[in-house]
């Protein structure tokens, strides 16, 4: 029997097939832990405080020491397993709230108040941790790979020519639904109340070892240009907000999944990038059916930048309405999967089949996650980093 194609591998197979030949259900493919993931916004982790987060069901505590450094440990005390995020930051360490066991940034237990130092027990797992662009990143996979793993390029968030909105929310669906929703611009009908009737045209797709990319242009078939769109492009696009019939405004949207991150960039006819979105979806629960979105949405400042600042609340309002509709629809997709017990999608758009294959191939291999969570090999001497090094 011939091997399944990448597209077939991304689809759910018949439950009657032998296990060795059954394609993986994409909605049961765990995200691969050997990447840098944001688990908190910097402002959520106050100086001298601990902040509890989760990655795919594994509890993690992020600590900001009194000097401002950040580090991450598994969120449990080695003694009675109570959460360390309920503890007390003491200088550059954290003390458990129960008996005062103390852990440093490497996870090593450095003090038990009622034991001599020669009798200190083992500590807890430490995670490589670094901070960039207002986000706290953690490497939840094999810590030996953290130094060589590619740290994501965070769009235009640090470019003063752009104004950046930092946003995030919890969405009750598998992270792969989120990738598909952003990549497939044929779903503009969903947003007809916000944007009028828009028709997307795919200009072509490209595929690499760990990425998929597609270009689009758009034509407005009905309705007026919304204010939020006008803020992005800085101008009306044709009479009454419709697209110029002569094609004077040929904006190109490029969407890319570079596993596990996504970007969406819009360039005008002269090549100017007017919008730059970087986004990632971090699974929270062990079944990975709930994710937390972390996004950086950067809009190029017009010649008179104060105009964008004044209109910013309108842009936030517009994008929130779009995101609300997207969240509603992907949660309905997850509910359908739960009812059916498998992925029965019949995908016809080639770039989404490419994307599904990529997410299957780059996801965690089947059986990678032990019953108690991802493999937790400990490395003690991890140096906390407060900012990503300059590229």
SS (H, E, C) 17-72: CCHHHCCCCHHHCCCCCCCCEEEEEHHHCCCCEEEEEEECCEEEEEEECCCCCEEE
Mean pLDDT (the chain) is 84
Count the Cβ atoms, other than its own, within 10 Å of residue 388.
Answer: 18
* Burial grade of 310 (CB within 10 A; 0-12, 13-18, 19 or more): exposed
Whether the CB-CB separation of 77 and 53 falls below 8 Å is answered with no
**Is the pLDDT higher at 385 or at 306?**
306
pLDDT in tens, 111-139: 999 887 777 888 999 999 999 999 999 99
Hey, what are 229's tokens? 């769109």
Average pLDDT over residues 215-238: 63
| Collapsed DSSP state (helix, strand, coil) of residue 111 | strand
pLDDT of residue 7: 46
Render 134-179 in DSSP notation, one character per residue: TEEEE--S-GGGTTTSPPPP-TTTT-TTEEEEEEEEEESS-HHHHH
Decide: residue 48, CB within 10 A, 0-12 exposed, 13-18 middle, 19+ buried: middle
Q: Please give the backbone phi and psi of residue 47, each rounded to the nearest 5 degrees, phi first.
A: -60, 135
What does each C-alpha distance from 189 to 64, 198, 222, 245, 265 come to in angstroms?
45, 7, 11, 21, 21
pTM: 0.84
Residue with tokens 């611009």: 185
**In this predicted structure, what is the pLDDT of residue 191?**
74
- Average confidence (pLDDT) over 200-204: 87
Is a pLDDT exceeding 60 seen at residue 188?
yes
- The per-type count for the chain, helices as H runs and strands as E runs, is 6, 18
- The 8-class DSSP code of residue 254 comes to E
Provide the 10 A C-beta neighbour count for residue 306.
Answer: 9
pLDDT value for 379: 37
Give backbone dihedrals phi and psi of 90, rounded to 5 degrees, phi first: -125, 95
Residue partners of 124: CB distance under 8 A and separation at least 6: 73, 74, 76, 77, 78, 84, 103, 107, 109, 378
Retrieve residue 172's tokens. 């009750």
The predicted pLDDT at position 150 comes to 95
- Domains along the sequence of the chain with CATH: 37-145 (2.102.10.10), 162-362 (3.90.380.10)
Could you tell me which residue, 259 or 306, shows the higher pLDDT?
259
pLDDT of residue 225: 62
- Residue 80 near residue 88, CB atoms below 8 Å: no
Interval 356-370: pLDDT, tens: 999 999 999 987 765
294-305 average pLDDT score? 89
């Amino acid at each position: 029997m011939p091997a399944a194609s990448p597209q077939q591998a991304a689809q759910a197979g018949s439950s009657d097939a032998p296990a060795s030949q059954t394609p993986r259900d994409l909605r049961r493919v765990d995200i691969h832990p050997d990447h840098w993931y944001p688990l908190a916004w910097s402002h959520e982790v106050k100086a001298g405080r601990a902040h509890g987060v989760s990655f795919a069901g594994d509890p993690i505590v992020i600590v900001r020491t009194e000097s401002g450094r950040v580090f991450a440990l598994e969120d449990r005390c080695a003694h009675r397993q109570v959460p360390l995020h309920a503890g007390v930051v003491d200088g550059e360490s954290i003390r458990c709230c129960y008996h005062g066991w103390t852990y440093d940034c490497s996870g090593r237990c450095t003090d038990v108040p009622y034991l001599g130092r020669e009798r200190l027990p083992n500590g807890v797992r430490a995670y490589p941790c670094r901070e960039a662009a207002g986000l706290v990143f953690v490497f939840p996979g094999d810590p030996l790979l953290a130094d060589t793993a590619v740290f994501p390029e965070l769009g235009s968030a640090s470019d003063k020519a752009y104004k950046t909105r930092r946003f995030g929310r919890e969405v009750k669906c598998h992270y792969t639904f989120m990738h598909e929703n952003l990549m497939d611009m044929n779903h503009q009908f969903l947003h007809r109340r916000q944007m009028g009737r828009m028709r997307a045209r795919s200009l072509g797709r490209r595929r690499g070892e760990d990425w998929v990319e597609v270009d689009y242009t758009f034509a407005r078939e009905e309705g007026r240009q919304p204010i939020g769109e006008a803020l992005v492009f800085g101008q009306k696009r044709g009479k009454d907000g419709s697209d110029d019939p002569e094609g004077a405004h040929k904006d190109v949207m490029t969407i890319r999944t570079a596993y596990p991150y996504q970007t969406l960039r819009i360039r005008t006819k002269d090549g100017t990038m007017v919008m730059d979105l970087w986004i990632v979806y971090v699974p929270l629960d062990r079944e990975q059916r709930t994710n937390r979105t972390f996004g950086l949405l950067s809009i190029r400042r017009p010649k008179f930048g104060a105009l964008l600042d004044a209109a910013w609340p309108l842009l936030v309002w517009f994008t929130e309405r779009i995101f609300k509709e997207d969240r509603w629809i992907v949660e309905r997709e997850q509910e359908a999967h739960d009812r059916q017990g498998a992925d029965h999608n019949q995908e016809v758009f080639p770039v989404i089949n490419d994307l599904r294959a990529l997410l299957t191939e780059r996801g965690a291999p089947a059986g990678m996650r032990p019953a108690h969570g991802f493999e937790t090999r400990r490395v003690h001497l991890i140096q906390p980093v407060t900012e990503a090094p300059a590229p």
